[in-house]
Amino acid sequence: MMWRKFNGERIQTPIHDAVEEVISGEFLQGNKLKVCIGTDSQVHGKNTEFATVIVFLREKRGGFMFIYNDKTTQKLTIKERMLLEVSKSVEIAYNLCDLFDKYDVDMEVHADINTNPNFQSNAALHEAMGYILSMGFAFKAKPEAFASSSCANKVI
């Protein structure tokens, strides 16, 4: 997996190491962090492109993010696509949760799923919420899910 920063700079170390380096550095500077993880996707012809982001929020001091892009040619229903987005976010959250515990960092998983039943993505809301909460993670959906609906959406 090739992660990058928002400025395009590639992250050369494994993502676990890069995240620990960031968290420990921010901790040493006295910054309180919150991390939000989310994934968004867009369909372009036969391709579905995904962007997964790890958003680091410094309390009262801005934030930054790490980005991973990938794509598939597999044809997906809207519900399958929403649940695949959630599974990508949960996988990253699960791989990093030991760091969040070690450094006492609050973490949320954001799902780009609308809470309004008039939107198609709502079909996956209950399954996504159940999956994320059953993993022990805090869950946010639209309109509070900015990591997926705003940050990841901008870098697809």
Main-chain phi, psi angles of 142, to 5 degrees:
-55, 140
The pLDDT value recorded for residue 123 is 92
- pLDDT tens column, 90-116: 999 999 999 999 999 999 999 999 999
Res. 34 pLDDT band, cuts 50 70 90: very high
Distance of CA 150 to the CA centre of its chain: 11
Q: In what order do the strands lie in the sheet containing 4-5?
A: 4-5, 63-72, 47-58, 33-44, 106-114, 138-142
User: Would you call 156 exposed, middle or buried from its count of C-beta atoms within 10 A (0-12, 13-18, 19+)?
Assistant: middle
pTM above 0.75, yes or no: yes
**Cβ 110 vs Cβ 1: under 8 Å:** no
DSSP 85: H
Taking CA atoms, 145 is separated from 82, 104, 122, in Å, by: 13, 21, 14
**Cβ 67 vs Cβ 3: under 8 Å:** yes
- pLDDT tens column, 47-64: 999 999 999 999 999 999
Ordered by start, the domain boundaries in the chain are 4-154
Give the whole-angstrom CA distance, residue 122 versus residue 53: 22
Residues 20-46: what's their mean pLDDT? Answer: 97
Concatenated DSSP letters of 116-146:
STTSGGGGGHHHHHHHHHHTT-EEEEETT-H
The pLDDT value recorded for residue 1 is 80
Residue 151 has pLDDT above 90, yes or no: yes
